Amino acid sequence: MSGAFALPANPVTQIIEDKLRKQLKAVKRTSMGSEYVAFHASRDEVIALAESDLVSAFRRVVLDPVRGLVMLMTPSGKHEITSRDMDRFVGCVAALKGIKTKQLGSTRWRRESDPKNTGNEADCSFYFGQNAIDCGRAYARSEAEGDAYTYRVAPDLVVEVELTHKSKEKYLSYRDKGVVEFWQLNARGKTVAATFLDLQAQPDPLEVDTSINLPDLKPAHVIEFIQKWSKEALSYLEYYEVVRYLLEDNKDALRIREEAAEYEFAS
For all residues of the chain together, what is the average pLDDT? 85
pLDDT for residue 37:
86
pLDDT (tens digit, 9 = 90+) per residue, 3-23?
Answer: 554 444 567 778 888 888 888
pLDDT (tens digit, 9 = 90+) per residue, 60-75?
Answer: 899 999 999 999 898 8
pLDDT for residue 5:
47
Residue in 185, 164, 169, 214 with CA at minimum distance from that of residue 64? 169
Whether residue 248 is predicted with pLDDT greater than 80 in this model: the reply is yes
Q: Which helix (H) or strand (E) is 192 found in, with range?
A: strand 191-198
SS3 assignment, position 182: strand
Q: Which runs of consecutive H residues, i.e. helices, occur in the chain?
A: 11-24, 43-50, 77-96, 129-141, 143-152, 168-176, 219-229, 236-249
pLDDT band at residue 34 under the 50/70/90 scheme: confident
pLDDT above 90 as % of the chain: 50
pLDDT band at residue 131 under the 50/70/90 scheme: very high
Over range 168-181, report the average pLDDT. Answer: 92
pLDDT (tens digit, 9 = 90+) per residue, 110-126?
Answer: 998 999 999 999 999 99
**How far is the C-alpha of 103 from the C-alpha of 84, rounded, in Å?**
11
DSSP string, 37-69: EEEE--HHHHHHHHT-GGGGG-SEEEEETTTTE
pTM of the model: 0.84
Q: Strand order of the sheet with strand 191-198? A: 101-103, 124-128, 157-161, 181-188, 191-198, 206-208
142 or 18, higher pLDDT: 142
